[in-house]
Amino acid sequence: HGTRFCAKLWNIHKFISKAARAGMNAAPDQFRTSDKWILTKYSRLVRSVTKHYEEFRFDRAMKELEYFIWHELADHYLEMVKHRNMEEDDALGLTLYEIGLGTTKMLAPVIPHIADEIYELYYKDLDEAKSITVSEWPGTSLDEPGEHEKGEILKDIIAGVRNWKSEKGMALNAELGVLEIIGEKVNILLGC
């Protein structure tokens, strides 16, 4: 299991490196629901993992990090955004940079060699610390409960469509002519 996670980490950071850029000035209105959702989940993760480390609960920190990276980031967020223009989308670049760098820093106490190698390859020139071990601990950036709720609904819809396509033997990137969404919380998504 650990080897699979490490292999997935490399693939995620290779993908993130295509878009991640520091120092960009993305305007608040450039961030989409999916960006705000993952940044909210990430901010909550930073608080939780920091607390676990302060209490020497390394196993809990690693479990939460692994779940977030594997499922929320890779399985859901990267699937939501892979169609966006990585070269020109400042909100996407800034979101990926913050989450990629932050999760790498949070992994460093548990898997230092891998985290340091990822840092050296993808983030050192942007973060400008001598090493991941002396870089600043990540901070929170956004925590908007309303955006979190919208993002969870969006995540469930996208996962449902992907599952349906898979069951029907359709390519996951196949376009659908019409998609009708019915439910009591659909109005929350208006304007996403």
Q: How far is CA 14 from CA 7, 34, 56, 173, in A?
A: 11, 20, 31, 21
Q: Mean pLDDT, the chain, as a whole number? A: 87
Find the farthest-apart pair of alpha carbons in the chain and give their distance in angstroms, rounded: 52
Q: Considering the chain, what percentage of its residues have pLDDT values greater than 90?
A: 46
Q: 116 CB contacts (<8 Å, ≥6 apart)?
A: 108, 131, 132, 133
pLDDT at 178: 81
pLDDT at 54: 97
Mean pLDDT across 77-99: 89
pLDDT at 163: 85
pLDDT band with cut points at 50, 70 and 90 for residue 22? low
Instruction: Choose among 5, 106, 97, 94: nearest CA to 48.
Output: 106
Two tokens at 88? 């020109």
Segment of 3-17, 59-73, 80-94 carrying the highest mean pLDDT: 59-73
CA dist., res. 121 & res. 42, Å (int): 22
Two tokens at 129? 């610390």
Residue 89 per-residue DSSP state? -
pLDDT at 29: 84
